[in-house]
Amino acid sequence: MTSPDGIRPASPVRVTGLGCVSAAGRDVAATLASFRAGTRNPGRTTLFESPITAPVFEVRDLPREYLLPGRRTLGLALMAVDMALADAGLAAGASEARQAPASTAPGFGGARVGVCLGTTVASQLNDLEFYKSWRGIGKADLATVDRYLDGDLAGHIARKFGARGPALNVVNACSSGSDAIGVALSWLRAGLCDVAVAGGADELNRIPFDGFHSLGIMSPDPCAPFDRGRRGLNLGEGAGVIILETTAHAHARGLAAGPLLAGYGSGADAHHLTAPHPEGVGLKASIERALAESGAGPGEIAFVNAHGTATGDNDRVEGRLLAGMFGPGLRFLSTKGFTGHTLGAAGGLEAVFTVLGLREGWIPASAGFREPDPEIGAAPVSGVTEVRGRYALSTSLAFGGNNAALVFGRGAP
């Protein structure tokens, strides 16, 4: 079947490993427990001093091996990558891996492994002292430059595991994690690699914290996506990583069944620097393309893991569009009530959560939601909800009019 704009369904790839760390939990099991219980962990940040008292969703008590001074984003990414690779049965953890060629890298054998990670902070916005010193006296400690270069997420992880394949960081605002997964999908379909490590990571940082506050869109209370009384977003941090493999490579490893990444779409409407197009033009285009690639129709989508930032414009535009595209039977939610808005990590984390929803057969309540907004005309799920169906959709909206959509499938039983 070909879509109206000529897009034919493309071959899906296998999702063989999941890793996540956020305020909702430091691994998949802890996250599912928080989701099931409706546990939320907002609080004031302890990572830097600020007179701003808006709550954030901070990852507490990182294990020592992931506490990398000046490179917190990298530490979060490594933690999620370790989990995902272990889940896939492909490699030892980062604390054990050595900078070895791919032929001797643990678990990879001769496979070509690509690494594609999305981020915004990416260990490059946490050198304020360097910039202040350079601006003030014309010189600064160049050790921070080495730290910045070593904080290259994809490059560092590729070296750490001896991955032989393409390595790329995607910096596309809040759609970065979803776009990175989409790029990795294209690599696998094009035959550039057999396995891809994909997702996103970001740390809580003073620059975006102050920046979002200056925009006037940070809530003084725990956020309430799609709620009539929503007052804005809360920032969060974390990392979400999935392991993707070609079907042939997965079958060669004896993995005959499991989740699929079936489609990806992106669309930029360039309506405004920070606000979405009122009609969701770019988001609609990205969803239509992802559906066309997957071969799924709107009626086959079991649920939508929406971007749902709890800001006025985003939730109104996204909610209306989803209701119009998928009809009154739509089940959707935002998980940002559990994690906060993790910026470049959001698409990676929400990809993991979407796969988990399909795998487990349920999705959590859209945390923070209480009262429907009549301007949206649709309401997210308000309790733990059983979901059936073969496909699920994850959406991301970003500054500059960037939009991305991912379609995941259950795969064969």
**Length of the chain in residues, anyone?**
413
- DSSP classification of residue 399: G
Instruction: Kindly tell me the burial class for residue 299, based on how many C-beta atoms sit within 10 Å of its own C-beta (0-12, 13-18, 19 or more).
Output: exposed
Q: How far apart are CA 126 and CA 151, in angstroms?
A: 11
The one catalytic residue in 156, 249, 277, 307 is 307
Measured in degrees and rounded to the nearest 5, phi and psi for residue 256 equal -90, -10
Give the C-alpha distances (Å, rounded to integers) separating 98 from 79, 156, 158, 196, 243: 16, 12, 11, 19, 20
The one catalytic residue in 174, 223, 249, 277 is 174
Alpha carbon 179 to its chain centroid, in Å, reads: 9
Q: How far apart are CA 48 and CA 403, in angstroms?
A: 31
Measured in degrees and rounded to the nearest 5, phi and psi for residue 290 equal -60, -40
Q: How far apart are CA 317 and CA 68, in angstroms?
A: 39
- DSSP classification of residue 124: T
Measured in degrees and rounded to the nearest 5, phi and psi for residue 151 equal -80, 5
First to last CA, the chain: 24
Verify whether residue 174 is a known catalytic residue.
Answer: yes
Sign of CA dihedral 92, 96, 101, 106: negative
Nearest to 202 by CA among 351, 345, 20: 345
Verify whether residue 193 is a known catalytic residue.
Answer: no
Contacting residues for 226 by C-beta, under 8 A, at least 6 apart: 306, 308, 310, 315, 319, 334, 366, 369, 373, 376, 379, 380
| Residue indicated by tokens 């360039």 | 270
Q: How far apart are CA 28 and CA 148, in angstroms?
A: 29
Where in the sequence numbering do the catalytic residues fall? 174, 307, 341
